[in-house]
Structure 1
């Protein structure tokens, strides 16, 4: 066995270089990077232009324009934006329809409930006039929503024109076809070898079907390899240069977390960046970008709205960090409710089971969107007796998915 003393490096600088990714930049260097470093944006930043309410959307537009030549849009971000854009716009239209319908139903229900009290000529005010005011107020809000609906179409969306007119000049050149083919092949190998890779969190959910978008050369990619393709473009373009990556993607194939706090990029991404002679890169979210680069101070309301959209984006992708979306007390209470739910279903106490499930959804509302949650809701509320035969199995599935969520941070959405 060798003398331990002889194993000491003695080269402090070499060791500091080797372990530099375990240390954050100093505050001064961080602030300088936000002032001068090139800034590249993810697909979700562009799609936020179609999701955000007007005041937040205008702030994002202003921020992107203020970056000037510092703004960079990887080519594959542009590809994904054009493939996903219409779906996002039309989704907003569907959401508006749902809200309008809820308002219509609410108006009918409120008036019916008031009339059922038989209060006419028994109160010191006119109940009929009250009903009219309720109907007029709700009808007015419905009309306002219809005005938004008129713009919720790809051909009328003003943000489409903004992107084409003001941002397309910041898109990088298209890579060669061979680059895409090599990226898809490399991504699949990395997933197989369990190498932490942008996109590997989506590998099981997203399709490996080839997506063609350019008729000129037959270039294609697979949806699950999309993030990795963007990462490879970032490495190639910024070789030798520090940069900032802006995204509302919080999955841990991109970011490293301690508890529920994002502390920086995944370390293996920093290692790969070093191989491209990139001294350092930062990951920031859209809220941080707007806070630092818009011409006026963000209001607390705007900050909260922006952060909520980020959380919603994570939830939409099926990624929902328990430490961010639920306190330990809520997790404990959730387990208790699921145990009570199993007992109620086993005893065929359907009303009690429905009430417990409602309490569970109110405690942890993201579970309303889960596959198991919707499946169980359908079984409890549908009048078909045969659907109740396997309700205990559905409760078991919900409990399993809940515990799996606490470990993997992913929800299986229907």
Structure 2
């Protein structure tokens, strides 16, 4: 007999996963698809319009799109979206959710009698350049259009060009370190780069220094960020971010602070190689056991001793790891089996597996753990 309750629960979980993935795609601050020139704003999420005094609660916006036009990629820009409850019953706004970290919202109240209205205030702080289109989703008890959206757009001009916008060292041999450069060019005549600061896991093992370079007369000012990864950088994926701070002198005589973040990463390895760089658990169903395997082997096929593997810094309970020698590998290959249980836990799973071996220079390595437990139904 088919277990219909289990099938329904699994389908519901898959629906949650799909919604979460769609939201993750929207949350990034990069450009969203730009509608063709002259086309009408996309308000398909709002469904068909209804006349005033429709039955039930009706969330009715005066307008649902705003174009800021040409703006620089600093500071903030405000817009208001007036709305009214055009229905005959009480309207309740459950949630106002920006789809980008560069947009914040403010709504004074959440419950509105028939005929009562308010203003949804949005503040946009551009982080990317080019044509930008951002949406804010509004969920209410409007029975016909429970999920609506308002949209803002802008053509964003950067005041500083960063090349590359994010920097990867790629593979780094353990014990070697690495050196890289990031080029900066003022895209606005009033811009000056003033300082850089390195943060993240790379910070204890790397440095970042800013210096201005000579440019041709009449050319924009230029700088270079020299990034040095020290030889003591540990095994595994290492990432960090460079905070770039600058100042912008504007035509009205005011000076504004400008900041940008540049992501930096690299993968450090030696004789020990893994089938995956981290224990990526992705999205996990609540109240269920789970497992994940990673193979670790010697690059030259030589036998080595794997003395222990221990879960450290775990934020969720019941994480355990086992070491399983691979048959017929001659001691050159092992499997690490990570197991756990999501019972009574939701949210992010993080931690690391600390592995101890007798491989010179790689006597102790850490493999990161990451995943998310979805909330239970209801």
Normalised by the length of structure 2, the TM-score is 0.23
Q: Which has the higher contact order (CA 8 A, sep 6+)?
A: 1
Bigger proportion of residues as strand: 2
Bigger proportion of residues as helix: 1
Normalised by the length of structure 1, the TM-score is 0.21
